[in-house]
Every structure is written in C-alpha cells, then in structure tokens.
Amino acid sequence: MTYGPMRNASALYQQNRAAGGVESADAHQLISMLMEGAMDRIAQARGHLLHGNTSAKGDSIARAVAIVGELRESLDHKVDPAFSQRLESLYEYVTRRLLFAQLHDDVGALDEAARLLAPVREGWMGIRSAYLAQAAAQAQGA
C-alpha cells in the first residue's frame, strides 16, 4: 500500500489553505503567520536533525531563515526606532543561531532560536485586540 498520493493531497490542501489565509489576512495576521511559520520550521528542523534527515533539516532551516528575514524586513523603524532596532538585532542573532545549528547539527541552537522568538510571538498575539481597535478607529475617521 502506498501513501504517496495522500501525502501529496495533504500538502496541496495545506498549501491552498495557507494561500487563502494570506490573501484574506490583515497586516497583523500576516506577521502572525510568519512567526508561526518560523516556529514550525524550527520545530521541523529539530525533528529532522534528531532523525538524521540532513536534507530535510537543511530545507527547514533555510525556510526558517527566510521567514526570519521577512520578519526583519517588515519592521517599521519610523514607529519606534529603538524598539525596532532591538527586534532587528534579535532577528539577526536568531538567524546566526539557525545557521550555526545547520552547520554543526546543534539542537541547542535550534532550541535557543525558538526560545527567543516565542515571547515575541506571544507579545504580537497579545496586541491583536489593540490592533483591531486602532484599525476600527481609523476606518471611522476616514
């Protein structure tokens, strides 16, 4: 019995679901999706590393690095320059730890990257209601 077609169907479903989510997402949700994606890729890389799947580990880490790069590019340095600079430094450090994990098969570096991103993700999720209130106020003013 082969499960190949089912895996392909599942991957296609997830890809379409993600694409649909991106198309209907607001700016806050897009950043949330990036953060979730980075955390997911780091967790996948950890699993691949522990199971000796070097190719998949490299792919997952490369995707995590790309996502963290997108998070870095999304920073608006005009809003709060000092805070955005701290986040940029954090994202740069996380990227270095991910690359170190790739080169040295270091689970600890992957765990550290996830630990560093987790509070940022939690904080971002925590401001959702404030973001929506601000968006509603701006819509009423327009």
Provide the residue type at 111 as one letter.
Answer: D
H-run or E-run covering 5: helix 4-24
Q: Which residues contact 44 (CB under 8 A, 6 or more apart)?
A: 56, 60
pTM of this structure: 0.80
Task: For residue 135, give both structure tokens.
Answer: 């968006």
pLDDT of residue 81: 96
Domains defined along the chain, listed by start: 27-141 (1.20.120.340)
For residue range 46-63, list pLDDT tens digits in order: 999 999 999 999 999 999
Residue 18: the pLDDT is 52
Q: What type of residue sits at position 52?
A: G
- List, for the chain, all residue ranges whose pLDDT scores fall below the cut of 50: 1-3, 6-13, 16
State the amino acid at position 138 in one-letter form: Q
DSSP string spanning 24-91? Answer: H--HHHHHHHHHHHHHHHHHHHHHHHHTT-HHHHHHHHHHHHHHHHHHHHT--TTT-HHHHHHHHHHH
- Give the pLDDT confidence score for residue 14 in this predicted structure: 52
pLDDT in tens, 98-112: 999 999 999 999 999
